[in-house]
A and B are shown apart, each in its own frame.
Chain A
Amino acid sequence: QVQLQQSGPGLVKSSQTLSLTCAISGDSVSSNTTTWNWIRQSPSRGLEWLGRTYYRSKWYNAYEVSVKSRISISPDTSKNQISLQMNSVTPEDTAVYYCARGYYGMGVWGQGTTVTVSS
């Protein structure tokens, strides 16, 4: 059974960097049959896909256009986890952040991390 366990601070100051991790159990971050995603959800923006990382003989990333200049999603094969870093955050980035596994359908989700950006 695949499980995703998220960790990271719930409070970040404006202009600083948001950092979250997603530990994977029951699967390998290096699997060549799936992708590892970050999604966020807020009342004002709804569900918003942020990006993904995946391995197909080499590592690939894909990012949503509106955040592409500010985010990085990285795999850590030694810890079997992925991480999200978003820099220059503003209160608009306040949301529940989720990691999720899947390509054309995300079937396993982390528990969610509520991140508040203080001004």
Chain B
Amino acid sequence: QSALTQPPSASGSPGQSVTISCTGTSSDVGGYNYVSWYRQHPGKAPKLMIYEVSKRPSGVPDRFSGSKSGNTASLTVSGLQAEDEADYYCSSYTGSNNFVVFGGGTKLTVL
């Protein structure tokens, strides 16, 4: 069982927006502004899309945005495109000995 809880699936039509949640505790998501989001296409390595809750690495389109409220972080993908269909994982720094914890992943389907 993953430390962070994500919905197993999400979907949206091209051009629409979809939001994926990531729920943790005060020891990880709620306690630090160190939430990151990854996109993973089948057979590929994860790609960093958001770090430190809401920052985008160079090259990531501004269609991707992140936020956090209490123990829940969210990733919003606006203007859905076919290439956005993938698995999305959240991750957080944790003050416990685990240091880094991941969510179980959300499969995003572009209808």
Name 7 extra pairs, CB < 8 A, besides A64-B100, A105-B50: A37-B100, A49-B99, A65-B98, A105-B36, A105-B55, A109-B46, A110-B45
Which one of B48, B51, B102 lies within 8 Å of A47 (CB-CB)?
B102
Chain A residue with minimal CB distance to B59? A107
B15 to chain A, nearest CB (A): 28
Mostly, the A contact residues are strand
With A46-B102, A46-B104, A64-B99 as known contacts, state yes or no: A107 contacts B48, CB within 8 Å. Answer: yes
Write out the residue numbers on chain B whose beta carbons fall within 8 Å of the beta carbon of A109: 45-47
A65 touches B97 (CB 8 A): yes
A-B contact count (CB 8 A): 59
Question: Considering only CB atoms and an 8 Å cut-off, how many residues of chain B contact the other chain?
Answer: 26
Known A-B contacts A47-B46, A47-B89; the reply to A105 vs B52 at CB < 8 A is yes
Query: B46 contacts A104, CB within 8 Å?
Result: no
Q: Are A102 and B99 in contact (CB under 8 A)?
A: no
The interface residues of chain B lying within 8 Å CB-to-CB of A48 are 102
